[in-house]
């Protein structure tokens, strides 16, 4: 028997994601992987999957799926409005709670509420062809499962196994919003004027509609460069904030290119990355300076909190 989901409506930017692919930057292959790592792990844990299993990631509007096959369990994480349709009856779904789905049931992931990314984990995992040990789809470079393309209407998603334990699992978790994104000064911080540095740490920026999995573009007061608006291309990591000649910062996100030639004014502290990616276009963000040792300590605490959340499930 084939157990699968049919995609009735694919949604805006629906992809398969996992922990991403490492050790390939030197040949130009991006890291990719789930944007919000905490919600990715929680979704897998709620369905009893391995924490590094592939999941369905969606942005803004998620997919509407119809299931055919043996009973399975699913879970949704993020701040997602969704419905489960069972023989004509609609149930309002709760995030951070697993549900059992049977043949003919539908899941309608309507929207990510004032956030960007949501996750749907399917118990037993997805039957996907991996590329360089990861399913993660990078639509710009056409890398990953599904030929590196986002999911489309009418496609089928095959289930790998059926979990024997489908008992209900739930946890209470509220995605906290961050007021300030903490940033460590970058190697080219002194390329910018005193006024520019002040603007960077004191003014609010608006997240542009042009943001995607590659980068978050910001608009606001221009940050003036007084040294050179280009540097010789060098490596990038996620969270790097580059400022091109137009003075508007761009934050590198998980699908970012491996090298870049714009000055780096700062790097987002790892502790704030999961929350950064959830800030939707049109929202305001403000940066706050932090030093390395504080950033390391805060990340340790954040990671401990994630482990505790996982243990509670």
Partner 1 sequence: MIKNISNLGDAAVYCDFGTEVNKSVNSEVIKYFKALKKENVESINNLTPSYNKLIVSYDLRKTNFKEVKKLIENLNINETQDKNNTKIEIPVCCDDQFSLDIKRLEEKLKINRDKILKNFFRKEYFCYMTGFIAGMPFLGDLDENMRVPRLETPRVKVPKGSVALTEQFANIYTFESPGGWNIIGNTPLDIFDNSKEVEPNVINPGDTVVFKQINIEEYNSYNDK
Report which of 3, 2, 1 is spatially closest to residue 123, judged by C-alpha positions.
Answer: 3
Sequence-distant (6+) residues with CB within 8 A of 234 are 259, 260, 261
239 interacts with partner 1 by CB under 8 A = yes
Q: Is 303 in the site for partner 1 (CB under 8 A)?
A: yes
Task: Write the DSSP assignment of 83-145 as a string of letters.
Answer: EEEETTEEEE--TTBEEEE-TT-EEEEEEETTSSEEEEEETT-B----BTTB---BTTTTBST
Q: Please, what is the angle between helix 292-311 and helix 37-46, to 10°?
A: 10
> Taking CB under 8 A as the rule, does residue 253 contact partner 1?
no
Give yes or no for residue 60 binding partner 1 (CB under 8 A). no
Task: State in angstroms the smallest separation of the CB of 285 from partner 1.
Answer: 17
Applying CB under 8 A, which of residues 2, 114, 226, 235 lies at the interface with partner 1? 235
Do the Cβ atoms of 10 and 153 come closer than 8 Å?
A: yes
Q: Does 201 bind partner 1 (CB under 8 A)?
A: no
Q: Does 295 bind partner 1 (CB under 8 A)?
A: yes
Size of the site for partner 1 (CB under 8 A): 38
Tally of CB atoms within 10 A around 130 = 14
Q: Rounded to the nearest whole angstrom, what is the least distance from the CB of residue 262 to partner 1 in the complex? A: 13
CA distance 185 to 47: 40
From 50-58, 85-93, 191-199, 296-304, give the range in contact with partner 1 by CB under 8 A: 296-304
Is 7 a binding residue for partner 1 by CB under 8 A? The answer is no
Residues that bind partner 1 (CB under 8 A): 22-29, 31, 131-133, 141, 143, 184, 186-187, 232-237, 239-240, 257-259, 264, 267-270, 292, 295-296, 299, 303
């Amino acid at each position: 028997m084939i157990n699968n989901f049919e995609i009735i409506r694919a949604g805006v930017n629906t992809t398969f994601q996992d922990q991403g692919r490492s050790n390939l930057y030197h040949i130009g292959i991006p890291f990719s992987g789930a944007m919000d790592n905490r919600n990715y792990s929680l979704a897998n844990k709620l369905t009893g999957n391995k924490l590094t299993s592939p999941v369905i990631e969606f942005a803004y509007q998620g997919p509407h799926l119809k299931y055919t096959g043996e009973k399975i369990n699913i879970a949704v994480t993020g701040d997602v409005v969704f419905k489960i349709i069972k023989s004509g009856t609609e149930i309002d779904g709760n995030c951070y709670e697993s549900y059992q789905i049977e043949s003919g049931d539908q899941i309608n992931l309507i929207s990510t509420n004032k956030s960007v990314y949501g996750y749907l984990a399917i118990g037993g995992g997805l039957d996907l062809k991996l590329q360089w040990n990861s399913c993660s789809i990078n639509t710009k470079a056409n890398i990953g499962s599904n030929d590196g393309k986002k999911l489309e209407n009418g496609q089928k998603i095959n289930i790998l196994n059926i979990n024997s334990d489908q008992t209900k699992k739930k946890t209470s978790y509220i995605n906290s919003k961050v007021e300030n994104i903490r940033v460590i000064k970058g190697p080219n911080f002194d390329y910018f004027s005193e006024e520019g540095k002040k603007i960077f740490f004191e003014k609010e920026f608006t997240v542009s509609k042009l943001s995607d999995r590659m980068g978050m573009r910001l608009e606001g007061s221009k940050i003036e460069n007084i040294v050179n608006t280009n540097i010789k291309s060098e490596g990038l990591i996620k969270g790097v904030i580059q400022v091109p000649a137009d003075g508007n910062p761009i934050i590198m996100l998980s699908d970012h290119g491996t090298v870049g030639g714009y000055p780096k004014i700062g790097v987002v502290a790892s502790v704030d990355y999961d929350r950064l990616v959830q800030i939707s276009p049109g929202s305001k963000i403000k940066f706050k300076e932090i030093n390395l040792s504080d950033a390391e300590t805060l990340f340790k605490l954040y990671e401990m909190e994630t482990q505790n959340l996982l243990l509670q499930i």
